[in-house]
Structure 1
Amino acid sequence: MKWGDSDTDLLLRVERYDKVETKYLTTGDFSALQQMNTGYPMQTCTLIEDVLRIGYVNEPQINARFLNYYQDSTLQGVLGEVGEQYADMTDIDKDLSDAFGRLKSILPDMKIPLIYTQIGAFDQSIVVNNGMIGICLDKYLGTKYPVYYKYYPESQRKHMVRSMIVPDCVMFYVLSLFPVSPEEDTSHALHDMHIGKIQWVTNKIVRRNVFGGKCVSKVEKYMHKNRQVTLEQLLRHDNCAYISTY
């Protein structure tokens, strides 16, 4: 499936919640806070309660606590860096539209998610909740972003780049649709095989070999020898134990 190049042809656009968030966190502007709470209630709840875990949105002092949390000089620097690096996300809008268009073509009953951006505190990269995908831009500032050197090894930093946003969105959304089963969760090998299956499908959807490793290679061998198996069948069938034999 190929989507058009013009803005009007895009399947989806990223909601820039991060810009409203930044306005409030850098100026304390009350209108920005109102917009966060009335225009983006689910996003604000997810950020405060699930990403930052600083309390509940209905607590009396939560707005002040939220504002004070980001007065840390490191997080203030992140707000500014995100504003510079992600002033324009039209390239990501197009790549997400292409990827989720392809995903919809193999999973016709799939609901296209609402995708938005936010700025966390280095905790999570992608948050999937109630048919929405939250992109934490603080985790995609590039391998050479100075703060990353303090907390992440090179093996992680190489994935904390702009080009990983679309693959990560696809992978975590597909994983939310086809989660690890209770049986797979009791076996490290089956758990890894399930993730490898999701990663292999993601590679096909984004048309790049983003994810690799032993489990992804096993899925590649399995699909090469079983060409009649569709991507939807691969995802839906309980086949991790069999694939692991390849």
Structure 2
Amino acid sequence: MRKVYYFLLIVLFGCISCEWQFTAGDDRIVKVDRYDRIQSLYLTTGDFSALQQMNTVYPMQTRTLIEDVLRIGKVDDQQINTKFLRFYQDSTLQALISEAEQQYANMDDINADFTKVFKYLREHIPGIEVPEVYAQIGSLDQSVIVGNGSIGICLDKYLGSDYPLYKNPLYGYSKSQLATMTRSYIVPDCVGFYLLSLYPMPQDRALSQQERDMHIGKIQWVINQAYGKHVFNTVYTRMVDRYMKSHNLTIDQMLRNNNYSEFRKAN
């Protein structure tokens, strides 16, 4: 009986060990939910089943798109489906839909970057939640939508700096803006806006432009660390880098420190 007992203990600890190994290596894969494909199907064909899926499977995304991104009405308005469909019949928006679906037929590289970056954030910011990430097609108004534990990517704002429509003077994009309207900036932008929602700028006092830039510099520095390279290289990210090298702080502590003068003193 004693031998059986010892055997069971060995099996038990062996199973626990296997479970620990599995958990330790069980890195969460972040994958972009392709809401944009259902949206595209409805907006280009009027497919009623696609509309039903938008409303039943993706109610939050559809409400956000209609009410917060496009701002064409309330999602429960009786005529909102017709208004939504007509809104996208504009030839420019139809071209955006087509181009976005072509350029982003595959997003494996973006999924890999999201997974890598959020793995780093989970290791260095205890308790941080990994949001749901989904893609949509807007109307050149916004690039990233953060809220309700999710990140929405507007693919129409990431079609490449040389995309002809972006160069139309009507939109007024500067060269610096165009440089960031590329595939490679999707993950940095999304993570940046998400971190900004978790570590917002102080609201109890008016901030100077330099203080605002310093706050963004802190977030961009974290993104650089998560990527392991200089995605952003500004005077403010360099100030944060020197500050962190001279202070024994966690990333969470640094992000919560809104005494911006301390970062300047370290330089």
Q: Same fold (TM over 0.5)?
A: yes
Distance verdict in 2 for CA 1:232–1:144, change over 3 Å:
same
Distance verdict in 2 for CA 1:244–1:161, change over 3 Å:
same
Does the CA-based 8 Å contact 1:185-1:191 persist in structure 2? no
Partner of 1:186: 207
Partner of 1:158: 179
1:57-136 maps to which residues of 2 (within 5 A)? 57-136=75-154
Matched residue type, 1:241: S
Aligned pair count reads: 238
Q: Does residue 1:238 correspond to 2:258, yes or no?
A: yes
1:166-177 maps to which residues of 2 (within 5 A)? 166-177=187-198
Measure how far apart 1:185 and its partner are.
Answer: 4.5
Q: Does residue 1:47 correspond to 2:68, yes or no?
A: no
Matched residue type, 1:193: M
User: Deviation digits for residues 125-165 of structure 1, max 9, x if unmatched?
Assistant: 11101110000000110011100001212211110111111
Matched residue type, 1:235: L
Does the CA-based 8 Å contact 1:116-1:134 persist in structure 2? yes
User: Deviation digits for residues 12-33 of structure 1, max 9, x if unmatched?
Assistant: 2110000000000001111000
Does the CA-based 8 Å contact 1:92-1:166 persist in structure 2? yes
Does the CA-based 8 Å contact 2:113-2:187 persist in structure 1? yes
Rounded to whole Å, the distance in 2 between the matches of 1:96 and 1:187 is 32
Measure how far apart 1:184 and its partner are.
Answer: 5.6
Rounded to whole Å, the distance in 2 between the matches of 1:171 and 1:205 is 11
Partner of 2:227: 206
Runs of 4+ aligned residues of structure 1 deviating over 4 Å after TM superposition are none
Task: Report percent identity of matched pairs.
Answer: 52
Matched residue type, 2:231: V
TM-score by length of 1: 0.92
Structure 2 alignment gaps of length 5 or more:
1-25
TM-score by length of 2: 0.85
Matched residue type, 1:210: V
Measure how far apart 1:70 and its partner are.
Answer: 0.7
Rounded to whole Å, the distance in 1 between the matches of 2:32 and 2:205 is 33
Does the CA-based 8 Å contact 2:28-2:119 persist in structure 1? no
In terms of Rg, which structure is larger? 2
Partner of 1:217: 238
